[in-house]
Structure formats: structure tokens, C-alpha cells
Amino acid sequence: MNPVPQSQPMAPSPKPESGGRYSGWRLMLEGFRGQRGWLPAWAKAAPRPRYRVVIVGGGGHGLATAYYLASQYGISDVAVLEKGPIGLGNVGRNTTIIRSNYFLPDNIRFYEYSLQLWEGLERQLNFNAMVSQRGALNLFHTEAQRDLFTRRANLMRLLGVDAEALGRDAVKALVPLLDLDNGRYPVLGGYLQRRGGTVRHDAVAWGYARAAAAAGVHIIEHCEVIGVRRNGQRVTGVDTTRGLIEADTVCLAVAGHSSQLAEMAGLTLPIETHVLQAFVSEPLKPVLDVVVTYAAGHFYISQSDKGGLVFGGAIDGYNTYAQRGTLPIAEEVAMEAVTLMPALARVKVLRQWGGVMDMSMDGSPIISRTPIDGLILNAGWCYGGFKAIPAGGMTTAHLIACNAPHPLAAHLDLDRFAAGRTLDERGAGPFPYAH
Amino acid sequence: MLRIKCPWCGERDETEFRYRGDASRSRPDASAGADEDAAMAAFISYVYERANPRGWHQEWWLHVGGCRRLLRLMRDTQSHEIRSVTAAMGR
């Protein structure tokens, strides 16, 4: 077991076991003590010159990988390097949806594993991530969509994953806000995954960071990787803005910028970077207690516990590293919202933001070894990185620790493109902007 | 909102165009030589690998809502500045 980080500017002597555990009892106790006993949730670390594993990227997947490496695979000599502060990247900039309703059996198994890990996550991390299995409802609007969704639901049920067909009346009862009789895109019904829902995304970053740090992982903020060191075909470490850090294994978990980091190691990836926008409305009284997706366009919406409607649509559609969206998609998303739920027409949008993502060539993620020994890739998450954080972290940790792919993520290897085993959920072909 | 100066139609909103991806790659010559492995590798790279630069990017845009010509743009993927717009085959 690794010693607790030496440099702890914010916490003089945090002892995770005694000082860190959260409970109702402790909450009450601190209430009597004037809340003076709380310590920082996790200790900031200064980089050491060498680690067994360096994870580049302190987002959901990087932090989860570090946590599972320490907690499940007994490797705590791990550093997570983050360019800025943790929690400010895509892990805190998404629409917080979790679900496992996929089409390809290998993907169903992977995302179902993730959903099962979400179900036990708060207990395991001792952190309230507000995992809310409020249900995810996928509406369909044509007979062809009904067939496709039915086929998907049957595939899911064959693998033991829940999927429930709802007729129009049941959909209307579940979501009274919907306009089912829209002339152009009437709602014919929907498929409901009751175990789907939302999770408070910031808490996911903090929860994993806290649990990883308590297990001995160094989380190093404001440490940008500017080069990848190699000795022939073997990775030896990374150059950072805080100096050289050597490592046996380097894992890139920097979705949005995977191509940039891979280029430092001399690799070209099957990935383009695109921006995806999300929107939050002014807080409303409870009007929507389920995640709803709209299949006549590309639109998904839920209501946060603060009351804001959280929604989004398609990517802007062309390569960009600008972390801001443009208006055509904002207009399209607003049109979809009002078509589906006319009562929202006068709701004001409070915030809008954009995050850049790895759009892979087949629309599925990459958890893989690379042609460079010791360089591991966790990338290509497209729209779906958030829901996959627990499984992505666990399977990436497995790959690092065992130097062999986790059985549930073996299909996500980088070689699948050359081998013709692409995982194209939509059947859109090798066009990242079409997924 | 991007404004793209189509050589035929003038400056138009991005919504009139359809993005068609990286224009810097060219199709490998399938008939070249007897080295099948090299030809296969070239095609895999052509179909799947992208430089994905942060900065100047050469890309195809199809003016579907206008002249229906395929255009070649040089655009910055960070600032969205467009440096040049030409016809696919020159001009």
C-alpha cells in the first residue's frame, strides 16, 4: 500500500478511515459540533518522479480507473494527472443519464455491467451520488421505429436486461407533458427501462476522487501532459508542466483530446473531435419524473432535483475543439423540445454549454492496448461516456492490472477497425459526424 | 453559426451545407503493386484513421441547400475561422 500523499496543502492530516467516513450519525454529530470536524474530501498531491501507473485525465473514466486499480486490483502506486481542476471537464458537463438499452449484444452486456455498478456505487464509495433510477423512456414515432425498438428490447431481455413496452395510454400516464398527437411525429408508444435514470455528475467525480485518494492514489491537478516518453516501442513516462513523471503503464483517459495525446506518442486514432451541447432551463416545479428520449429527431430530457430541465440533442456536426456550441443546434433542440412537450414553449433556458468529445469511427468506445507497449487507451466515448464511467473504469483497470482485456470490454479493442469488427449501433458507417 | 463563402452562391449560413469530413486524405491506389498487406494497411488508414488536428483542418462541405457543389474548406477547428473555400476539384 502506498503512503498517503505527502503534500496536502488543504488538509493537515486527513486519516480517511477515521476522518473521512460519511454517515447519518456523523452528520448529526457535526451538527452539534458546529460542523467543524469536516476535512477536505480528498487530499491534493504533488507529483513524485515515478509511479507504476500514470493515468492522464482526471475525468470520470480516469478517476474511476484509478479507484478500481487501487480497490479491486491492489495497485495503488497510481497518479491521475489533470490539466485543470478535476470535475470541470465532460464528467461535469453532460446530461447525467444512465441506461443500458443498447442494440449490439456485446454493448448491452458492457453497459448493463455499468448500470449494475451504478446501483451499488454509493455504498461502495460512501458518497451520495444521487443515483436515481427513475426510468428511461425511449419514444417511437413510426411503425419502422416500433419494429427496431422491439427488436432491441428483445435482444436486451434475452440478456436479462429490463425493457418494457408501453402503449400510448401508458406513455401518456407516465409523462402527461407529452403531445402524443403531433401531426407530423405522433407518439406511437415507447420502451421503458425502469432501471435507467440519472446520477448527479459532479458527485461522481468527487466520490471517485475521494475514494481513490483514500486508497493511496495521487490526484495531481494543474499538471498538463506535454509529451509522451518512449523507449523504442515501450512507453516510459510523460513530460508534464510539472516535470517528467516516469511510469510502467500510461493510460490515456482524455476523451475529447485523445487524438492530441495519442499524437504525442506517435499514434493516429480512428477518432474525430466534435462538440455536444447541453441545456438547463430555469427551475420548475416537478413536471417530469422520468428520462425521455425523442426518436423523430435527436433529443433527450430529464428534470434535475433542483427543478431545472436538463436536455440536449445532436452534436454540432463538424470537427471542433471549441468548447461552446453554435446556434443552429440550439434552435433544433428547442424545436424538438416544444414539438414533444408544447407546454415548455415559454420556459426560459438558464444555461447552455458545450463539451468536446471523441467521436469514434463506429460510434462505440475504445478500451484497448495500443501498438506501443504499456500505453493504454480509454477513449472514443461519443455521446455515451458518462453512463459508462463505472464499467469503463473497472475494465480499464483490469486491462492495466492484468495486461489482458476484461471479458466484458474485449470487443472495444482498437484492432476491431482493421479486423472489420466495428460496433456500429446505428449502422451509419465510418463517419464520426453521423453517429 | 459558420458563414461559408460558396464560390457560386456567395456567403451562406452553415445550415445550408452538409459536412462531409476530412478532405486531406486521398483514396489509395488499389492496383498498385503486388503487396497486398501494404495496400490493405493503406485502405484501413484511409477509411478509419484521422489526424483530427486542433487548428487548421481541410474538410469537405456539400452545399445541399444551394448549388449542390462539393466544396473544400480550410477551417480552424478551434476559432472556426475559415481561410479558404474552393471547389472540390480546384478553381
Rounded to an integer, what distance in angstroms lies between the CA atom of residue A390 and that of residue A330?
30
Is A182 contained in some domain? yes
Same domain, A283 and A426: no
Q: Domain of A367?
A: 44-93+201-271+362-434
pTM, entire model? 0.93
Residue in this structure with the C-alpha cell 403531433, named with its chain if needed: A182
Q: Best of A269, A272, A318 to disrupt the B interface by mutation (most B CBs within 10 Å)? A: A318
Closest CA relative to residue A285, chosen from A304, A266, A265: A304
Bridge partners (DSSP) of residue B84 are: B74
Same domain, A236 and A344: no
What is the predicted pLDDT for the residue at B90?
65
- Tally of domains within chain A: 2
Same domain, A214 and A259: yes
Digitized pLDDT (tens) for each residue of chain A, 435 residues in all: 444 444 434 433 344 444 578 999 999 999 999 999 898 999 899 999 999 999 999 999 999 999 999 999 999 999 999 999 999 999 999 999 999 999 999 999 999 999 999 999 999 999 999 999 999 999 999 999 999 999 999 999 999 999 999 999 999 999 999 999 988 899 999 999 999 999 999 999 999 999 999 999 999 999 999 999 999 999 999 999 999 999 999 999 999 999 999 999 999 999 999 999 999 999 999 999 999 999 999 999 999 999 999 999 999 999 999 988 889 999 999 999 999 999 999 999 999 999 999 999 999 999 999 999 999 999 999 999 999 999 999 999 999 999 999 999 999 999 999 999 999 999 999 999 998
Same domain, A212 and A333: no
Is A159 contained in some domain? yes
Same domain, A264 and A366: yes
Boundaries of every domain in chain B: 1-24+54-91
**Which overall architecture, per CATH, does domain B1-24+54-91 show?**
2-Layer Sandwich (3.30)
Rounded to an integer, what distance in angstroms lies between the CA atom of residue A341 and that of residue A330?
16
Alpha carbon of residue A46 to chain centroid: 26
Contact list, A322 vs chain B (CB under 8 Å) = 77-80
Is A356 contained in some domain? yes
A269 touches chain B (CB under 8 A): yes
Q: Residue A232 belongs to a domain with what CATH number? A: 3.50.50.60
Burial of A171 (0-12, 13-18, 19+ CB in 10 A): buried
Burial of A226 (0-12, 13-18, 19+ CB in 10 A): exposed
Closest CA relative to residue A349, chosen from A277, A400, A290: A277
Rounded to an integer, what distance in angstroms lies between the CA atom of residue A274 and that of residue A179?
32
Is A123 contained in some domain? no
Last residue of a domain, one of A360, A385, A415: A360
The amino acid at residue A152 is R
Last residue of a domain, one of A325, A344, A360: A360
Bridge partners (DSSP) of residue A354 are: A277
Same domain, A280 and A338: yes
Is A124 contained in some domain? no
Residue of B nearest to A361 (CA): B48
Contact list, A271 vs chain B (CB under 8 Å) = 50, 52
Please enumerate in sequence order all residues whose Cβ is within 8 A of that of A243, keeping only pairs 6 or more positions apart, or say none.
Answer: A47, A49
